[in-house]
Structure 1
Amino acid sequence: MRRKGSIISATYAVIDMYIHEHRDWPRFIWSEQAITVPLAAVRHRQGRLIGRMEALGLNLQAEANLATLTEDVIKSSEIEGETLDKEQVRSSIARRLGLDIGALSPVDRDVEGVVEMMLDATQNYVQPLTAERLFGWHAALFPTGRSGMSRIVVGAWRDGRSGPMQVVSGPFGRERVHFEAPVASRLPDEMAAFLAWFEQEHSIDPVLKGAIAHLWFVTVHPFEDGNGRIARAIADMALARSEDGPQRFYSMSAGIRVARKGYYAILERTQRGDLDITKWILWFLACLSQAIDGAERVLVNVLRKAAFWRVAEPHISNDRQRLMLNRLLEGFEGKLTSSKWAKLTKVSPDTALRDIVDLIAKGLLTRDHGGGRSTSYSLSTME
């Protein structure tokens, strides 16, 4: 059985054209029979996860929310080939949410912009999605008005002056065009239709709406850059609506990042197909299920940190120790040495070493194998 998407259902011949070139675009169709069971399973897992997280108490919920939002921002940027500093992202989110995580790291403008967009989408999920709101998100992503070295149109739909909006790969002169978006002259009508549907269509399950909205937005590709990140923010907004709560306990972007090649492959197949988007919806639901699996790792880490601090808190002598122990709990990259401690806490090598020796004496740190200039330190195993 097939169910209509936005308006009607129909049968389409499979021909080599983009999905937005079909006569009945954007009247998506899908097999309700195919998606009913996986959608129900995902919704059930959502409910169970939220129930488990709510049983943790407010402090641990806030810690899990912070960890998830941090991962979501980082992984969404990684999908686009951009690497953000984890401590900057975490500090920016904590400051905006009013969470005390000790000393906050200085934050670059590009990090602030991504965080601002993501938090607006998930914390203010009940507010309507409008063109002006999308323009604000886009301006936050590109505060300098440039994407890399290139100047782009910011806070407005692309104007077409740069030619067709294409997704390409391959070396110069031998590029492969994976997708070409609608021409710029169509954008006002295309986006008006999308935004009206997103706010007015209430018969579709919000999780299903997130899957459709993601595909619809990246297919229209209304901005010169940043469309993928904004599409994922819109999907996260729909997921927040599906749970009727701002706290995020799983990262859809983390799930997509793991399956990045599959993400681009299913997008290309769907955008070159007819208006039956069943396979895209099934892929989205499977990815969401994997994201919920990832929430288990967040939960384990939050509980581990809570157990550590119950023992460690009475023995901390200063904020430097608290900062560095949190760094280790969050997953310190590389090995922690006294010189790194001194650099990160902005103290002398002698002060850094005194901090470390104090924590070793209290059983919170251990000295790794090796010595001399290569001496490094790790968290003690606390039973």
Structure 2
Amino acid sequence: MTYIWQSPNWPAFEWPSDELVTSLTTVRLDQGRLIGRVEGLGFRTREATFLRALTDDVVKSSAIEGERLDEQEVRSSLARRLGISIDGFVTPNRSVEGIVHITLDATIDCLKPLTAERLFQWHAALFPTGRNEWGQRLRVGDWRDDSGGPMEIVSGAFGHEKVHYVGPPADRLEKEMTAFLDWFNGSQEMDPLVKAAIAHLWFVAIHPFGDGNGRITRAITDMTLARGGGGAPRLYSMSAAIEKSRTGYYEALQSVTAREELDITKWVRWFLDCLGDAVGAALLTLDNVILKNEFWQAHAAHHLNPRQAKVLNRLLEGNFDGKLTSTKWAKLTSASQDTASRDIADLLAKGILRKGEAGGRSTAYELVLEVSTDSQSPSE
């Protein structure tokens, strides 16, 4: 099998820009819609939305590689570093602190040059113990040396492995990374979204580290996208969209890296579609944030107990399984059936809940969303 870096014209990538106009236009329009909606939010709400997007990005980027991070630890680490006050702070471990450092350095300081030394620092932060998640010792803060053999991406059980990709030999890495970094930091007449797609593909094709290439690739992608937005906070997570379509992600990469041809149109189109999904998901999340804000503003004068607030938030977030009944209320809040019935009756009287169409033993309750937003929330 041959690979893209073996092409005699590598890395002179080709992509007919006219075939990408529709995808680029769609993503740009959705980005504009997202920015417009965010600008209408209060400061604390924008801050919370930014924190949520960053948390999702960190957690999902690691999940793509099979590493499960504690979401609350990630959120706590991000909040402390950004100076954001949150409830339920927990002390994050060193691995979480490392990936959070990389994410913030890539996005907040996106306009600084990307250098080999900066990448080495990211790699060291990703593996603070000098070992990966499986306890294997790594060459940390330096390019791989291939002492254990060529860099291969494989799958399958022992003895039945399938090689999907082989990276350039270690003695080419200095030259390869110099060319990549010169291109990345240089000024090209190129759409920033297309540049993000190319940077992602190019870095992952070089695979310069012994481990952690995927997470660092996605940090570089985030950095490129942040540069394209002038350094403004991004409220969507590309890593979350990739993790949701993980199989398609690897298939799209392999379709262009496991051959010598330099036409990467298929990859760039997949990347833009995935980016569109990320922005679309952010728009839906923002719609939910706005809905919750309007709901709580309308009911600011009502005194609600913690059980009521908990169930109402679950309903507003749209992650409630099935219909709300008094039995489900009791289970969710660890309350008695009588307490659940009193809580629900109180919300019915306040016009926050209403009975569903079915009655009797199968009585279910629905959230009343047709609320007046005349009452104003405290100034932010």
TM-score under structure 2 normalisation? 0.80
Report deviation, 1:309. 5.1
Aligned partner of 1:301 in structure 2 is 288
Q: Distance in 2 between matches of 1:330 and 1:113?
A: 30
8 A contact 2:150–2:166 mirrored in 1: yes
Report deviation, 1:101. 1.5
Q: Distance in 1 between matches of 2:208 and 2:262?
A: 20
Identity %: 50
Report deviation, 1:120. 1.0
Alignment of structure 1 residues 39-188 onto 2, 5 Å: 39-147=24-132, 148-188=134-174
8 A contact 1:124–1:246 mirrored in 2: no
Q: Distance in 2 between matches of 1:330 and 1:99?
A: 22
Q: Distance in 1 between matches of 2:46 and 2:225?
A: 18
Q: Distance in 2 between matches of 1:53 and 1:117?
A: 25
Matched, 1:235 2:251: no
1:310-351 CA-to-partner distances (Å, cap 9, x unmatched) read 446995899xx99999899889999x999999xxxxxxx9xx
Report deviation, 1:302. 2.0
Aligned partner of 1:8 in structure 2 is none
CA RMSD of aligned residues (A): 3.3
Tell me the secondary structure at the aligned position of residue 29 of structure 1. Answer: coil
Tell me the secondary structure at the aligned position of residue 245 of structure 1. Answer: coil
8 A contact 2:74–2:92 mirrored in 1: yes
Aligned partner of 1:372 in structure 2 is none
Aligned partner of 1:216 in structure 2 is 202
Report deviation, 1:215. 0.2
Q: Residues 381 and 337 (structure 1 numbering): CA distance in 2 closer, same or farther, change over 3 Å?
A: closer
Aligned partner of 2:248 in structure 1 is 262
1:71-97 CA-to-partner distances (Å, cap 9, x unmatched) read 111111111111111111111111111
Matched, 1:288 2:275: yes
Tell me the secondary structure at the aligned position of residue 162 of structure 1. Answer: coil
Q: Distance in 2 between matches of 1:48 and 1:328?
A: 26
Q: Residues 331 and 185 (structure 1 numbering): CA distance in 2 closer, same or farther, change over 3 Å?
A: farther
Letter in 2 for 1:247: P
Q: Distance in 2 between matches of 1:329 and 1:132?
A: 46
Q: Distance in 2 between matches of 1:164 and 1:216?
A: 18
Count of residues in correspondence between the two structures:
343
Which blocks of at least 5 consecutive residues in structure 2 are unaligned? Answer: 322-327, 354-365, 370-380
Tell me the secondary structure at the aligned position of residue 179 of structure 1. Answer: strand
Which blocks of at least 5 consecutive residues in structure 1 are unaligned? Answer: 1-15, 342-348, 367-379
Aligned counterpart for 2:262 among listed residues 254, 275, 279 = 275
Aligned partner of 1:27 in structure 2 is 12
Letter in 2 for 1:296: L
8 A contact 2:236–2:281 mirrored in 1: yes
Report deviation, 1:297. 2.5
8 A contact 2:242–2:249 mirrored in 1: yes
Q: Distance in 2 between matches of 1:333 and 1:294?
A: 19
Report deviation, 1:58. 2.0
Tell me the secondary structure at the aligned position of residue 104 of structure 2. Answer: helix
Q: Distance in 2 between matches of 1:57 and 1:288?
A: 26
Matched, 1:196 2:182: yes
Q: Distance in 1 between matches of 2:146 and 2:312?
A: 51
Q: Distance in 2 between matches of 1:139 and 1:299?
A: 35
Matched, 1:246 2:232: yes
TM-score under structure 1 normalisation? 0.79
Q: Distance in 1 between matches of 2:75 and 2:279?
A: 21
Letter in 1 for 2:217: A
Report deviation, 1:132. 1.1
Q: Distance in 2 between matches of 1:306 and 1:247?
A: 21
Tell me the secondary structure at the aligned position of residue 15 of structure 2. Answer: strand
Q: Distance in 1 between matches of 2:301 and 2:202?
A: 49
Report deviation, 1:142. 0.8
